Structure 1
């Protein structure tokens, strides 16, 4: 059994309504360490934010336009990397979670705009693994939620992470962590960047994650720029549709870095959508490539081949959001789609760190457009 470090944390959440906004406006949340005796240097770099908004997009992949229309200003002007978004099926509110930590003034500074009203601040309790990041939340039912995360291993294996999960009957917690990880390939570098996906075609649920091969690389860019470079495959693991945490069969590698294809030292941060309008259906896999701390970091996509299934094979689609070339964002990454809402969120460099951006999303065959 591989132990994960599991202290408890509280989150201060501001719930916002933005009825006139086309994309949800996100409120900041302040992570506060609970009194569990955990030292600050082992505190989880995690925070949550709540969104309650009305969007005019109505289809699973709506709002077409050109990439140059990505907002010049972030939705949330504080450090908010690796975002994920989920709609509470009970209340209809949208919630965003991210890796990061802020102070209360940041929350107050960004909590009010001409189109935004604070509804109610509230505290939620989430038990998380120390040094955890890249949170992904899925709503199984109105009273069943699973939060996946990448958790640091203790002791002399602290450079490795594994995929953990925590469950709750409420989107606002408290979340109770599982005692053992769902995926922990330490011999290959561990695992990070979990993302949940429900296949509309079959009803099956999957957990996607990155095998963190650059954690055992030979050095250079993101520790994997020196040959022989390690693979950083995206793995798709079926999980039980009822609980979201019981593994079904073996994971399948669906994508990997290709230096010749321009990926650099890694691919990571997977996210998956399904385009039901395409004849026979088509799956689109979003991912980030290059190193997160440089301008080459970007959001890319791959599409399933004609007649393919959720596990592929996938074909390289190309760049979705990158630095320059008409995009009004620097080093974008960590993209996450809003299921059934026709938009996505991602982070990009800003004076505060990595701020939250949003864009409309359209899938048209093999072409994917953000607006």
Structure 2
């Protein structure tokens, strides 16, 4: 779509496919609809979450992700700006009987690692083989950094780990403690973020994520592969998408459809950050873009 639609996620509904995006204009959670993941995508002129919760500022809602849970209802994970400390975001949850709402946000943050900078970029995952549910997310360490790129380009750089939290069948009750899957390295620049997890047909777990700052031409979509959901994850040195691939600029924020094979992500465009769609295939050791 040729409009600002950052950090997109995607889900199949009963009457088509839906994509959701970070706040833009007067909408906190944007939504678009298409008959297939490949489109054509039509922007819906509604705000799915005009009230993201009393704990938020009601503005700057990031990276919404919608999942259907076992009872057929829906959970939306999102990053809300803290009213008590606007320098930080934490993860909230909202629930609804239908994809298009009405959505009801919880009164308190769902995950909020404020001591390490907050928590953002949640993405749900159902392991079809085990029936267990998880949410991956980022600890937003760069929000307490020393400055530079995305506020974490100056030493000592803060950790920005990607975490895995198991949840119950309702998608919101946490089970046990979160597990760290990976963290930024020098090759990632100031951060890693925007995690998304799938299980490939060969049984391996593929963790997509972005590195570098979203304002930089170095922003990209990377991936790591593991034999178990909790890792260890083996990073691949070559990104799946980076600036220059397919004429893209600063691609990132990718989310796959649940069964894999197709993903949405954003890249810079005249309108801001537009949504793109790509096909991909997973081998035992690599992910290949079609």
TM-score where L is the length of structure 2: 0.89
Per the alignment, residue 215 of structure 2 pairs with: 293
Please list every run of at least 4 consecutive aligned residues from structure 1 whose deviation after the TM superposition is greater than 6 angstroms: none
The structural deviation recorded for 1:77 is 0.5
- How many residues align structurally? 274
- Whether the 8 Å contact between 1:188 and 1:212 is mirrored in structure 2 is yes
SS at match of 1:187: helix
Per the alignment, residue 348 of structure 1 pairs with: 267
Q: Does 1:96 align with 2:19?
A: yes
- Could you say what the CA RMSD is over the residues aligned between the two structures, in angstroms? 2.3
Residue in structure 1 matching 2:155, options 205, 209, 227: 227
The structural deviation recorded for 1:201 is 2.3
Per the alignment, residue 145 of structure 1 pairs with: 74
Per the alignment, residue 133 of structure 1 pairs with: 62
- Whether the 8 Å contact between 1:87 and 1:139 is mirrored in structure 2 is no
Per the alignment, residue 8 of structure 2 pairs with: 83
- Whether the 8 Å contact between 2:198 and 2:260 is mirrored in structure 1 is no
Unaligned runs of 5+ in 1: 1-75
- Whether the 8 Å contact between 2:119 and 2:140 is mirrored in structure 1 is yes
Per the alignment, residue 287 of structure 2 pairs with: 368
Structure 1 residues 253-280: Cα deviation after superposition (integer angstroms, max 9, x where no partner): 0010011xx1001000000111132xxx
Structure 1 residues 191-224: Cα deviation after superposition (integer angstroms, max 9, x where no partner): 1101000112211000111000001111111111
SS at match of 2:177: coil
Judged with a 3 Å threshold, the aligned counterparts in structure 2 of structure 1 residues 125 and 334 are, in CA distance, closer, same or farther, namely closer
Judged with a 3 Å threshold, the aligned counterparts in structure 2 of structure 1 residues 334 and 123 are, in CA distance, closer, same or farther, namely closer
- Whether the 8 Å contact between 1:124 and 1:174 is mirrored in structure 2 is no
SS at match of 2:246: coil
- Whether the 8 Å contact between 2:64 and 2:77 is mirrored in structure 1 is yes
Structure 1 residues 52-103: Cα deviation after superposition (integer angstroms, max 9, x where no partner): xxxxxxxxxxxxxxxxxxxxxxxx0100100000011xx1511000013258
SS at match of 2:150: helix
The structural deviation recorded for 1:364 is 0.7
SS at match of 1:101: coil
Per the alignment, residue 277 of structure 2 pairs with: 358
Per the alignment, residue 241 of structure 2 pairs with: 321
Q: Which has the higher contact order (CA 8 A, sep 6+)?
A: 1
Counterpart-to-counterpart distance in 1, 2:126 and 2:63:
19
Counterpart-to-counterpart distance in 1, 2:157 and 2:45:
46
Q: Please tell me whether Structure 1 or Structure 2 has the larger radius of gyration of its CA atoms.
A: 1
SS at match of 2:171: coil
Unaligned runs of 5+ in 2: none
Per the alignment, residue 309 of structure 1 pairs with: 228
Counterpart-to-counterpart distance in 1, 2:278 and 2:272:
19
TM-score where L is the length of structure 1: 0.70
Write out aligned runs for 1:47-58 (5 A): none
